[in-house]
Structure 1
Amino acid sequence: MNYIRTAMLLAAMTALFMGIGFMIGGQSGMMIALAIAAAMNLFSYWNADKLVLRMHHAREVDERMAPDFYRMIQRLSRSAGLPMPKVYIIDNPQPNAFATGRNPENAAVAATTGLLNMLTAEEVAGVMAHELAHVKNRDTLIMTITATIAGAISMLANFAFFFGGNRNNPLGIVGVLLTMIVAPMAAMVVQMAISRTREYAADRMGAEICGEPMWLASALAKIAGGVERIHNPDAEANPATSHMFIMNPLSGERMDNLFSTHPNTQNRIDELRKLSEAGLGTGGRATVGRSTRAPADFDGPWGGTGSGSGRSRRSSVPSHPKGPWG
């Protein structure tokens, strides 16, 4: 049922894209928009994951660069029965994470330095298990395509405003103004519907993967506080990708809470608590033991040397952070 609902929502987003094309160029504009939507879907299937990672300045790490974090993903992937995904770090003080990729064989998971600094190892494991659940459920392709089309709808709506649109449309300039205002909001509602149908499922499966629901519950509470007070400029510049994160990176900004792409955080925590009370919680099936500490010349699980090499100037990571592991 989830897949049918998602297919309907993607069809609605494509129809909206075509409607904007009609407002700009009539019937021929609608057909051009349909062709563009089809091309974008094809492009998104092969390349959108790389595009999203680039938008957020994610850098790939390996076991040498981020030993604790990388080995944690290895253990969680084995627990989930998944191939090892590519692992990325985003140099951003806001605690957050997301997964992307067209299928489990071509997946990637990314976490911010803010998440790795702020959370304990167990909480990080809960978050990354949630992201691997999205990979296992094959949510990542749908969420990435949705981000691509939503961004295009906003750009097309702005184009309709600046170039006046089709003069023969029945609503005239009023129709163009409605397109500019309503189309991005409609795209946001579709993003919200797609994401919300999948977050609870990923929370549950993530708890099963790591073996302890309260790890993720505790993490969600900390992340919620972090996103409210820490600005994420990359997310602000690319709002169409907000639904891909474990928590809306735009929370507390503008009117995003009115169109939240994620379920209420407290509701998610309550559902995880119910799972724990029902007996799901083995002390951690995918362990996050302390035996894989980073060597002394590493600042933390995100990599980088004690001198701060390779780190962006906008990072708020202290020169010798304690990190989540020790």
Structure 2
Amino acid sequence: MMRIGLFLLTNLAVVLVASIVLSLLGVNSYFAASGSGLDLGALLVFCAVFGMAGSMVSLFISKWMAKRGTGTRIITQPRNNQEQWLLVTVERLSKKAGIAMPEVGIFPAQESNAFATGWNKNDALVAVSQGLLDRMDQEQVEAVLAHEIGHVANGDMVTLSLIQGVVNTFVMFFARIIGSTVDRVVFKNENGHGLGFFITTIIAELVLGILASIIVMKFSRWREFRADHAGATLASRQGMIRALQGLQLEQKRALESSMPDSLYAFGINGNLRSKLGDLFASHPRLEDRIRALQQGA
């Protein structure tokens, strides 16, 4: 219920901001003045505003949503030696990476997991699951923290949001061109745009959106290799390899026990993936990540 509420509020904010910007730009419609065809200039502005707005709004509220969506508790006053060690370790790794100290939190998940988020590298959040702290030793946890700090230092969240915004823009743009073409050529609608335009546009957006996600996911997989390298540099290569091997063992156990699709270590899907599935995966296979570190990549 909370996620649905956040989704609706986010979309309401996007529509409000986009409407104001469009009004200021004088873009009231992307249909041609004649009533047929499209004003491509106005359409491109329309799609850019809506496409980028959704991505940017999500980025700016990412930390707030992550805290509430995962139930993350921010460590302000350490309750025990483990929490004290977490703060000291994150502070040391952050200084080494050249970024401001992020907020540090723990979220109540039994799976070994961690994430970093925030709209800029000096206002970030790094959180680990209780399951990760329970299963991994300090060398492994330090490597995981370094991996997440690597994401922050590399500006991955901002870059990914920009890429997603550009992808959104062109998906919307070409979907409406396809919709307009089908409406005129197939449905012979020369006076404005009919139901065929809107139905075709929705279908085209779905298809193009799925295909375009391959681009976003490719970048996401590439950034994981970079973050692994950061983990090896900021902490230790052996610790990063051991952390990934620990996740690999946990993944294997989950598959053997027929766990549902809920194991997301660093966002990694626990199920075996096909070659086609790899194209849409946000993270590389664990064996590929381990091999890259072992080869010094």
TM-score range, shorter chain: 0.5 to 0.7
**How much does 1:29 deviate?**
6.9
Other structure's SS at 2:122 match? helix
Residue type of the alignment partner of 1:224: Q
**How much does 1:147 deviate?**
6.9
Aligned to 1:208: 233
Partners of 2:132 and 2:166 in 1: how far apart? 28
Do 1:224 and 1:247's aligned partners in 2 also have CA atoms closer than 8 Å?
Answer: no
Aligned to 2:244: 220
Say which one has the larger Rg.
2
Do 2:262 and 2:270's aligned partners in 1 also have CA atoms closer than 8 Å?
Answer: no
**How much does 1:191 deviate?**
2.4
Partners of 2:204 and 2:73 in 1: how far apart? 37
Give a deviation string over 1:148-200, Cα, whole Å, max 9, x none.
898x89xx9xxx9xxxx778265776845753652342243122111122222
Residue in structure 2 matching 1:88, options 73, 87, 105: 105
Q: Matched residue pairs, number?
A: 238
Do 2:94 and 2:149's aligned partners in 1 also have CA atoms closer than 8 Å?
Answer: yes
For structure 2, list consecutive stretches of 5 or more residues without a partner in the other structure. Answer: 1-29, 32-36, 188-195
Partners of 2:123 and 2:94 in 1: how far apart? 13
Q: Is it true that 1:261 corresponds to 2:282 in the alignment? A: yes
**How much does 1:124 deviate?**
0.7
**How much does 1:43 deviate?**
2.4
Aligned to 1:246: 266
> Which structure has more RCO (C-alpha within 8 Å, separation ≥ 6)?
1
TM-score (norm 1): 0.59
Residue type of the alignment partner of 1:168: D
Other structure's SS at 1:140 match? helix
Give a deviation string over 1:120-166, Cα, whole Å, max 9, x none.
1110111110111111111122235667898x89xx9xxx9xxxx77
Q: 1:37 to 1:176 in 2, by over 3 A?
A: closer
**How much does 1:247 deviate?**
3.9
Partners of 1:221 and 1:234 in 2: how far apart? 15
Aligned to 1:195: 220
**How much does 1:78 deviate?**
2.7
Residue type of the alignment partner of 1:189: I
Partners of 1:170 and 1:131 in 2: how far apart? 51
- Deviation larger for 33-42 or 102-111: 33-42
Aligned to 1:321: none
Aligned to 1:168: 183
Partners of 1:186 and 1:91 in 2: how far apart? 35
**How much does 1:63 deviate?**
4.3
Matches within 5 A, 1:119-158: 119-144=136-161
Partners of 2:144 and 2:184 in 1: how far apart? 48
**How much does 1:274 deviate?**
2.7
Do 2:263 and 2:270's aligned partners in 1 also have CA atoms closer than 8 Å?
Answer: no
Aligned to 1:112: 129
Residue type of the alignment partner of 1:246: F
TM-score (norm 2): 0.64
Partners of 1:232 and 1:74 in 2: how far apart? 34
Residue in structure 1 matching 2:54, options 32, 35, 40: 40
Identity fraction in percent? 26
Aligned to 2:75: 61
- Deviation larger for 54-63 or 225-234: 225-234
